[in-house]
Amino acid sequence: MSTTVDNPIERSIRAGLTKELAPVHLEVVNESYMHNVPKGSETHFKVLVVSQQFDGQPLIKRHRMVNEIVKNHLAGDFVHALSIVAKTPQQWDEAYKLEPSPNCKGGFGK
């Protein structure tokens, strides 16, 4: 796995979520390698963010907050897929492991 220095989109996602949500825990995982995209692509991400700002917010609002932050911080860069796990610190369990997404089946009915 590459470092965020080599991954400008991952770095933008991480910076935006850190700035806007002040997370107590944040994971940004580039899962593009699991899909039919060129090597080094940044198109498929999974995000785990734990923030006090989610307190009292339904899950759909949490996801909308994350999507809006990502959209604004990418400034036109394209992300095809964004999987979100958004928890409050009270819901967070440090033993939780972010599971990888299932392997891509190739799309277009393949």
Kindly state whether residue 52 falls inside one of the protein's structural domains. yes
Kindly state whether residue 99 falls inside one of the protein's structural domains. no
Task: Identify the CATH number of the domain in which residue 61 sits.
Answer: 3.30.300.90
pTM: 0.81
Q: Which single residue is written with the structure tokens 């700035």?
A: 19
37 phi-psi bin (left φ>0, alpha ψ -120 to 50, beta other): beta
Q: Which residues contact 102 (CB under 8 A, 6 or more apart)?
A: none
Kindly state whether residue 28 falls inside one of the protein's structural domains. yes
Give the domain range for residue 64.
Answer: 8-87
Number of domains in the chain: 1
Percent of the chain with pLDDT over 90: 45
pLDDT at 108 over 60: no
What does the pLDDT look like over 78-91, one tens digit per residue?
Answer: 777 888 999 999 99
What does the pLDDT look like over 2-49, one tens digit per residue?
Answer: 444 588 889 999 999 999 999 999 999 988 767 767 777 777 789 999
Kindly state whether residue 101 falls inside one of the protein's structural domains. no
